[in-house]
Amino acid sequence: MNLTLKVWRQKNATSRGHLTTYRVKEISPDMSFLEMLDVLNERLILDGDDPIAFDHDCREGICGMCGLVINGVPHGEQRATTTCQLHMRHFKDGDTIVIEPWRAAPFPVVKDLVVDRSAFDRIIEAGGYVSVPTGSAPDAHAVPVPKASADTAFDAATCIGCGACVAACPNGSASLFTAAKITHLGLLPQGQPERARRARAMVETADELGFGGCTNIGECTAVCPKGIPLATIARMNADYLGLAATGD
């Protein structure tokens, strides 16, 4: 199929960007979205143009490195899918596709479609861990964990840190990301001792970094490739406020 792409091009963090139009021909429906961009890049290089920079690594939906806003939706319209897993068969011949980077003040553009997401690392560094130095652990069976808590914790722990939640949120909030970690650790017995401090430190760090607040709209969970539920945000709020959380 033949497509028209409008791609955000920006030389570096300080320069102004703009949408540039490219036409790509003979795209196979079996290609992934990133393979389609690979094809375009190969052509751009041979034409002496600067290829489009975009982040990616595993290309199987787990590393969280990829992420493009495709026609206004982070990771594209297909639900529960990362950009690298999105395939061209979901587009039609003749389609125009607008491709933009994640947009949020704490995620400055590095080049073209590449943004700097290190703010997420800062949030985890603020307290997204259990403080257990290597070698100090008791036997793994010393503390049983109810299966239900373990499963809910796991659901939250599947977050890949891609940042689509921030990109989608009208407030540029990192609540879903932050809440996923707070929920994961807060549901396990191992996470209890630091639970209150963790929530406070992580939430305050997100604010300091310039993310917005949550208004419970739910765009984040709708675009989340792992479907992290909004319930995690309720848990985060409860932990932050020092209230007991309800439900899951």
Q: 85-114: which residues touch other proteins (CB under 8 A)?
A: 85, 87, 89, 98, 100, 103-106, 110-111, 114
**In terms of CB distance, is 55 or 219 closer to ligand HEM?**
219
Look at strands 73-74 and 69-70 and give their pairing. antiparallel
Query: Residue from 18, 19, 45, 57 that binds ligand FES (CB under 6 A)?
Result: 57
Query: Residue from 19, 20, 21, 92 that binds other proteins (CB under 8 A)?
Result: 19
27 to 56, contacts with ligand FES by CB under 6 A? 56
State the minimum distance, in angstroms, from the CB of residue 240 to other proteins. 5
Q: For residue 39, which of 1, 78, 79, 81 has the smallest C-alpha distance?
A: 1
Give CB contacts under 8 A, 24+ apart, made by 50-58. 52/7, 52/9, 52/112, 52/113, 53/110, 53/111, 53/112, 53/113, 53/114, 54/112, 54/113, 54/114, 55/113, 55/114, 55/115, 56/83, 56/84, 58/84
| Interface region with ligand FES, contact rule CB under 6 A, candidates 36-44, 81-89, 101-109, 119-127 | 81-89
**In terms of CB distance, is 3 or 69 closer to other proteins?**
69
Query: Considering CB distances under 5 to 8 angstroms, the limit depending on partner class, which of other proteins, ligand HEM, ligand FES, none binds residue 66?
Result: ligand FES
195 to 214, contacts with other proteins by CB under 8 A? 197, 200-201, 203-208, 210-214
Residue 171 phi/psi, 5-degree rounding, is: -100, 0
By the criterion CB under 6 A, which residues form the site for ligand FES?
A: 56-59, 61-66, 82-84
